[in-house]
Chains A and B, each alone.
Chain A
Amino acid sequence: MSGDEVALSSDEDVVRARHVTRRLAVEAGLRLVDQTKLVTAVSELARNTVIHGGGGVLTAGLVHDGPRTGVRVTCQDEGPGIADLDRAFQDGYTTGNGLGLGFGGARRLVHDFDVRTAPGQGTTITVVRWG
């Protein structure tokens, strides 16, 4: 996947991540509601990367599967990792100061959601929303 890269270390970077994702979603021909869902999911994940992952990198690009076109976004950090994934997905569970909707909420907004993490090993989350 060729793609855009955004360094994630600040609030402003989360906004940049949203803009990059929006542009790709438009390019992929996603409908407005689908664009909004994807961009919102990426906003949650990018913020998690900044706050919980200690910063990281977002890569995003178009993906194709037969006639379908989608947008794939990966947020990667080398932070503490997630010890209890099941709990992390529960609505209302938070270790930060958020609502605890970010993780589970983001998963509901995309079609594919893949997490690779282990304590001390960082976290890599890849999501895809298809058109």
Chain B
Amino acid sequence: MDGDSRIPILRMGRLLLVTIQVDMHDRMAVALQEDLTGQIVRTGATGVLIDISALDLVDSFIGRMLADIAAMARVLDAATVVVGMRPAVAITLVELGLSLEGVQTALNVERGMALLPSVATEPDADEGEDEDDGPVSEADAAPAR
């Protein structure tokens, strides 16, 4: 596996979609966390949908990554739904002691989409990354350190 490969993030309106299709090593999981939070700020996304149906394992590290993403997204005013967890993974996760508190889950992509508030909301027509009143300027308006 390429040590620097990253998980792609797709944008659809105000949603960010992530399908994890490889067995992630820990650095990849951390990179995804950073990429996603960056994208939320850059695009003003209000929802994040993470499809883990291809994962045959969620251990404590990946579980923490999912919980952290949900927490970070919440702080950035975006909701996160994790969809498609396999039954064997769910059973193992609970036995491991991980409850994924604070992470909203759904059985599949369709149900997950329905949980996200702004699926139907088209982004503002003139919204762009270089727009004056877009999320970029919001980030600029953050208190200077």
Stretch among B8-16, B39-47, B90-98, B133-141 lining the A interface: B90-98
Docked complex Cα distance between A13 and B59 (Å) = 15
The A interface, classified by DSSP as helix, strand, loop or mixed, is helix
Q: Please report the total number of B residues contacting A with Cβ < 8 Å.
A: 26
* B 19-35 to A, binary, CB cutoff 8 A, 1 in contact else 0: 00001111110000000
Contact residue among A11, A22, A39, A108 (Cβ-Cβ distance under 8 Å from B97): A108
Task: Flag whether A32 is at the interface (Cβ < 8 A).
Answer: yes
When distances are taken between beta carbons in the complex, the residues of chain B under 8 Å from A1 are none
Chain B residue numbers with a CB within 8 Å of A15 are 1, 23-25
- Contact residues in A for B57 (Cβ distance below 8 Å): 18, 36, 39-40, 43
- In the complex, whether A101 has a CB less than 8 A from a CB of chain B is yes
Q: Which residues of A contact B27 (CB under 8 A)?
A: 11
Interface check B115, CB cutoff 8 A: no
Whether B127 is near chain A, meaning CB under 8 Å from some CB there, is: no
Task: For B60, give its contact among A19, A35, A105 (CB under 8 Å).
Answer: A105
Supposing A15-B1, A35-B88, A44-B59 touch, asked if A99 and B23 sit within 8 A by C-beta, the answer is no
Query: Which of A14, A22, A98, A109 lies in contact with B95, CB distance below 8 A?
Result: A109
Q: Which of A90-129 contact B (CB under 8 A)?
A: 91, 98-99, 101-102, 104-106, 108-109
Chain A contact patch, size range: 20 to 34
- On whether the beta carbons of B60 and A36 are closer than 8 Å, the reply is no
Contact among B3, B28, B89, B96 with A108 in the assembled complex (CB-CB below 8 Å): B96
Within A1-34, the residues touching B (CB, 8 Å) are: 10-12, 14-15, 18-19, 22, 32-33
CB distance from B42 to the nearest CB of A (A): 27
B63's closest neighbor in chain A, by CB?
A: A99
CA distance A14 to B64 in the complex (A): 17
Which chain B residue has the least Cβ–Cβ distance from A51?
B26
Q: Specify which of B25, B64, B91, B97 is in contact with A91 (CB 8 Å cutoff).
A: B97
Within 8 A of B (CB), among A58-104: 91, 98-99, 101-102, 104
- Please tell me if the beta carbons of A33 and B91 are within 8 angstroms of each other in the complex: yes
